[in-house]
Structure 1
Amino acid sequence: MLEITKNYVMDENQQLIAIQISIADFEKIEEILENYGLIQLMQESEDNERLSKDEGWKYYQSLKQKNVES
């Protein structure tokens, strides 16, 4: 299981307003989410045609790039 070290940020009334995590933890979470998204894309391919891991990754990266551009 992923161990995430969190730093809590509170306002002047001691109300929790944010949580900080390290870049390394963020990158781990991002990788897990990307892998999950890749699996979903591979399962949802048209005509029930399965994508290979490399094909799925390339397709996912193209979608990710389109998102960045818009």
Structure 2
Amino acid sequence: MACPICDKDTNPAFRPFCSKRCADVDLAKWLGGGYAIPSNDPDDIDELEDALEKAKQDPELPRPS
């Protein structure tokens, strides 16, 4: 089996990756939204707009500086 990040042989300690570095690269892609599936469904757009509006009104959420 090949590592999905760099195509080297996998290491059983980090399967399905070859190393901790490739596992971390994959995690960063997940956390950064790199694996998001785009949607053109109008319901998804409405839900996103509602969630963003709710987030703007929530004083407990951290704000970027």
* TM-score above 0.5, yes or no: no
Normalising by structure 1, report the TM-score.
0.28
Normalising by structure 2, report the TM-score.
0.29
Question: Which structure features the higher share of strand residues?
Answer: 1
Question: Which structure features the higher share of helix residues?
Answer: 1
Q: Using CA pairs below 8 Å that are at least 6 residues apart, which structure has the higher relative contact order?
A: 1
